[in-house]
Amino acid sequence: MGCTTLICSSLKLGGRKPLPGNWAIRECAPGRSAAELADLPDAWLAIGEALPVAAALRARGDWTLDGVGRDFDASDWWYRLQFECPARNAQERIVLGFDGLATIATAWLNGRQLLESDNMFLARECDVTDALRPGANELLIHIAALSGELARRRPRPRWRTPMLVHQQLRWLRTTMLGRTPGWSPPCAVVGPWRDVWLERRDTLHVSDVRLDISVCGTDGIVACSIEVPGRGAVEAELRLERGGRNHAQQLTADAQSSRLAGELKIPDAELWWPHTHGEPVLYMASLTLCDSAGKAEFSLGALGFRTIELDTADGDFRIKVNGVPVFCRGACWTPLDPVSLRATPDQCRAAVGQAREAGMNMLRVTGTTVYEEDHFYAACDEMGVLVWQDFMFANMDYPSGDEAFMRSVRAEATQQLRRLYPHPCLAVLCGNSEAEQQAAMWGAPREQWSSPLFETVLAQLCAAEAPRTPYWPSSAHGGAVPYQADVGTTSYYGVGAYLRPLEDARRAGVKFATECLAFANVPPDSTIARIPGGLATRVHHPQWKARSPRDLGAGWDFDDVRDHYLQTLFGVDPHKLRYADHERYLALSRVATGEVMAATFAEWRRPASACGGAMVLFLRDLWAGAGWGVVDDAGAPKACWHYLRRALQPVTVLLTDEGGNGLFVHVINERDHEARFELELKAWQHGEMEIASGSIALALPARGARTLPALDIRGRFMDLTYAYRFGPPPCDTVAVTLKDAQGRAIATAFHFPAGMQALFGADPGLSASAVMLDPCTAELTVATRKTALAVHFEIPGFEAVDEYFHMAPGSQARAVLRARQPAELLATVHALNAAAPLTIQSGKATSR
C-alpha cells in the first residue's frame, strides 16, 4: 500500500466514484489518538457526505452563519466512513483519493495509516488494494486543531498582516477564508473540502497527461504526452473535433520511459478569444488507448488555441490576446459557498455567465481564497472569460527558508500548474496577493519586500510547467513602492478607501488595478431581509456592522467610505440623512457606489488612458449584507452591477468632464469587425425643455475607439460642463446616445452639469405598464415626462435584467423581468427624484 502526492490528476476512465454517503463526524478535545476514540462516549453525528465541518453541521441543522459563532480551529475533528469493498477482477487495482483535506490530516483504512497531510491544496491518492477487506471497511480521518499549531513557538514575521488575528498562519498551507474577521464569515474550513473517492483501475490506465497548446502562424498545435505505467505494447491516439471535423494524431512510445507522446497540428485553426473581442472557440479533445486486451476512450475536455502576452514596457501592464491588446475588466472571484467551498457546475456556470453579462472579460482568483474547481475554469473557457490566477499566498511573510514548507509549496504549485495550464482562459499566473505591498506598507526594508518564493521558486516552476502563460510576482508590483499606481500593477483604492476625489482615477495614472473600487455596496431589500434582524436592521446596528468589511485595526469601515462619496455626489450629510430618512439613505447609498464605479471605468476605458485593466473587489458577497460584492451572496445584482453592466460593454459610449475643454465623448468598438454608428446629443433644462441637439455619423474599425468633443456633435458652443459659470447652468441633463446603422440605440451616457441633486425636486412624471411574455418572463415599459434618475424596481419573485438607469425627458424604456418559477407580477417602479413610487399590477398602474 502506497500513498502519493498527485502531480497531475489521473484520467477518469469511468471507475472513479465518490465514497458512499453514510459518513459520521465527531468533535474532540485536541490531542486524542485514534485508539482513544473507543473509550470516549459515542458522540458520532451522521452526515450525508464528506463535507467540511461547518458545512456538515449546517446540513444537519446544527449550525448556521446567522447563529452564534464557533471556532472550528479550536477542536480536533474526526470523520468515519463504513463501506463495502467494491467488486474487482484480479488485474484491477483500487485507489483511494483525497482531493483536498483541510488542513493537518491523518487517514487510516481498517486501522492501517494511509497518509499524513499538512497542505489543504494538495490532492493525494493511495493504492488500497491490499488494505481493503472483502466485507465491511472503515475509513477514519483525523483533522487536528489548528489552534495548537498557531500557538507553537516559531520565528516571528518581519511584518504584520492586520487583517489576520493569527500571524503564524503563514506557516500553514491553508486558506485565509474564515480566518479574516474583517471581511470573511467566521467559518474556517476544516475537513474534506474536495472529493474523497475510490477508483478501480485496470491495466489500461493513464496516470499522467501533459498538454501544451500553442499557435504557430495559422496552425494550432497540441503537444500531448501521457504515461501508461507498467504496460507492454499500447497504441494511443489524440483526437480533436469541432463542427463535425476531426483531427487525429498517433502518439509514439518513448524508449527511455513509459510515456507516449505526439504533436497534433490543425491548419487554419480557429482562435479562442475573450467574449468581448471575438468568439471563444473550443475544440473537443479525446484520447483513445488500445492494447491486445481491448480499447478505452475518454475525454480530455475542451481546448482552445490562443496566445497570451504581457506588455510591460516603460512601466505599462497590458495583456495581449492573439496579439491584440485587451482592456481587462472584471472582478475578484470568491467561492460561491464560503462554508463548503463547493458549487455545482450549473451554479458555477451561472455565476460566470452573470459576470459575462455585465461585460466583464476577466475574473481574478485571489490568493486569499482557494484554487477553484475544474468546472469554474471550464465555464470561463466556454464563455470567453480570462482568469488571473493567484497562487494561494497573501500579505504574509512566508517562511521561504524552511525546507519542509518549500517542499510542500513546490508540490502544490506543480500540481496546480499541470491542472490549469491547458485552459485557454488562463491569462496570468501571479505569485501572491499583496505580499510585497504589505511588507512595504508596514515599513519593512526594501530588500525584504520580495521573497525568493515568488521571485525565483514559483517563477521557475511556471516557466517549466506553464511556459506560454505569463507569470507576475505579486498582485501589487512595480514602481518605487509596490502599490505605485502608474507602474505595473496595483491595488488601487485612491477612489475608495483613501477617499480621493473622483479625478484621482485619472491623476493616479493607473496601469492595471488587480483590485479596486471596494465599497460596502448596499444590497436589495430582499437581501437585507436575510440579515439577522431583517428589514428592521439599520446601518449602525451591530448586526449590520458585523458584515460590513473593514480592516481590523482601522477606526473606519467601508460603510464610511460609501458615505463619503454619497456626500460628494449628492451634497447631503449622510449621517443626518440616516437619522431622518433611513430608506432614502439606503437609496442614495445604492446609487452612489454605482455612479462612482461607472465614472471610474469611463476614465480608464477612454482611448487616451494608459490603463490596461481593473478588477472590482468582489464579484459576489460571501454572506448577506453590505459587502464588497457587486452581487449579493445568492447572486442577486446590486445597483452597482447594473451600472457596471452598461459601462463595461464591448460596444458603448462614455462621457468625461474635461472642465474648460468641455464634455468629451468616447466611443468604443471592441468587436472584430468595423461598425458604423450615429451619435446623438441632446440637452435639457428644468428636466424637460430641450435646448440643444445634434448628431453625426461615425465609423470605427474593428477593435477601435475614438474620442471627440461634444462640440463636434452639436456644432456650436454650450457650457455643458458648467466650467465657465456665466450665470446659472445652461442645462441640467445631457444625454449622448450611440445608435447602430439601423438607428437602434446601443447605449446612452448621461451627464448632469449641476449634479444629480439639482433634479431632486422635480418629479419626473413616470407612467408604466407590464405584460407577461410567458409564466416566468414579463416586460415592463416605463415612460417619463421629465428626466428620471436611477429608475429601479421592486418585484417580488422577479429580477430585472436592467435597472438603475437614467431616462431622458419624454423617453420610454423597456425592462425584461425574469422569475425562477411562475409568479404573479406586482412591480413597484422607483426613481431617485420621484415624489412617490408607481405600482404595477395586472398590466397597468394601480397607485402612486
Burial of 836 (0-12, 13-18, 19+ CB in 10 A): exposed
User: What does the CA dihedral 658, 660, 661, 666 come to, rounded to 10 degrees?
Assistant: 20
The confidence score (pLDDT) of residue 2 equals: 57
CA separation for the pair 72, 146 (Å, rounded): 9
CA separation for the pair 49, 79 (Å, rounded): 10
pLDDT beneath 50: ranges in the chain: 7-10, 12-14, 845-848
The confidence score (pLDDT) of residue 90 equals: 77
Contacts 24+ apart (CB under 8 A), 442-447: 442/159, 442/160, 443/159, 444/158, 444/159
CA separation for the pair 531, 86 (Å, rounded): 46
The confidence score (pLDDT) of residue 8 equals: 45
DSSP string, 438-496: HHHHTT--GGGTS-HIIIIIHHHHHHHH-TTS-EES-SSB-SSSTT-TTSSBEEE-TTT
Amino acid of residue 32 = R
Number of C-beta neighbours around residue 73 at 10 A:
24
C-alpha cell at 789: 434618475
C-beta of residue 155 within 8 angstroms of C-beta of residue 171: no
Closest CA to 74 of 186, 192, 193: 186
Amino acid of residue 655 = L
Cα radius of gyration rounded to whole Å, the chain: 29
- Phi first, then psi: give them for residue 146, nearest 5 degrees: -75, -20
Half-sphere exposure of 486 (CA within 13 A, CB side): 7
- Phi first, then psi: give them for residue 182, nearest 5 degrees: -75, -20
The confidence score (pLDDT) of residue 231 equals: 59
Whether the bond between 618 and the residue before it is cis, its omega within 30 degrees of 0, is yes
The confidence score (pLDDT) of residue 257 equals: 73
Residues 352, 358, 360: CA angle, nearest 5 degrees:
65
Helix, strand or coil, per DSSP, at residue 389 = strand
